[in-house]
Structure 1
Amino acid sequence: MTTPYVLAGIFVVISAFLAYFAIKKVFRLASTVLTIVALALAIVVFGISYDVQRFQGQLATDDKLFVLEEDGVLKAAFVHRNQPAPLLLSDLSAEREALVAGDLKALKGERALVIITKPAAYANVDAVDINGNKLPAQTILAMLAKDDPRQDYIAEIRRINNIPPGQEVYMPEVNVNEFKGVLLAALVNEYLHAHSLVQGVHDGHVRVYPSSITTWVMDTLPYPVLKYILQVN
């Protein structure tokens, strides 16, 4: 006759076997889930790394249209390419229309990127060097807000260099759009020497088109994380 102790022992053994197989199944499921998550993370990290390298390559070598926008209006623009001097644009009518219409694809045209900056992006820029003359960044921005800042520029150069009336002030032989491009190029150059484009995008003062994984990362992640991922100051 089977005693209660024997029955209890059988019950314990059966329970142990069932628990073993249940735990084994749970661990197997957990291992599968963790493997899938690890693979997904690896794919995401690879995708981000690849896109960051592509974006950095575009910044280094490809044509980029830099734009100064204020209240939805294009104030100045130039093309930055892998050469010392910027490419100045004599006619900006198409770019102005595209920006007002919100057609960034048309604004970009054949260039690799459009980088749209707001005046607030230059808040921490102190002085800008233009042909050996140091002008305050806010003075440059005030000039760029005008339809034709050339006379203001001449007056400022006279003032800071004590040039007497009647003495000629050097002016580049360019039209008003090109001249504003010269001013903006000097402003952008000073900004990029002291600040990070990533910081500008993260703060909402700089917009990059077309959007990509990299621009999403710059918009979304905390800046300390961005500094690590994108290797910026």
Structure 2
Amino acid sequence: MKNIILASTSTLFGGEYLAYIKEQIKDLFKGIDSIIFVPYARPGGISHDEYTATAAAFFAGIGIDVKGLHTFADPKLAIQEAKGFFTGGGNTFLLVKQLHEQGLMIELSAAVSSGKPYLGSSAGSNIGGINMQTTNDMPIVYPPSFETMGLVPFNLNPHYLDPNPDLKHNGETRETRIKEFHTQNSIPVVGLREGNWIRVTGDQITTEGSEQTRIFEAGKAPYEVAAGTVLSF
């Protein structure tokens, strides 16, 4: 039975790392004393060790030991033997490149699909979708494939932003970019505003968080759903 949280962000503005979703994380990993952290997205270019230390400090506070996937001599075996996973945010192109080049995307997908709990934030949530083609990140590297884990039957757009009429911004909005995606693709896209997440429990997928969630389907006008809405496309 799938047991997954795909969050828009790790840190709300003015908040502490993962604090806004702490109780949900405790529930997700209930009964588990150790997990693997996937640090490959490397926000701001920090090292794998530095990124893992940040995650480990939070999880130590809820009694869970964290080890970085990069520290294992055999990362495939580590995934197979792990009790649960957390993939942090950063650059999705870099994360996806690393996972594909090491042959880990399929391994991680299989482990999570088998029921091992998974937490993703930002880039770590992007890889829960069908592919990474609705990320906001710059293509700083070239992955072998844009395909991701396919844990949910849609794509995600974490950090979704609504247009702000007070900003003197002439560039495209997030909605415009997603509409461009739908001129070439039919995959639904879930826009996750800050403070929101997707919860997967078995076959049920719900929107959760403090804000409404914006849904994009090809050929339809975008629409809003409230927290607790079951998603079915």
TM-score range normalised by the length of the shorter chain: under 0.3
Which of the pair is proportionally richer in strand?
A: 2
Q: TM-score, normalised by structure 2?
A: 0.25
The structure that has the greater radius of gyration is: 1
Which of the pair is proportionally richer in helix?
A: 1
Q: TM-score, normalised by structure 1?
A: 0.25
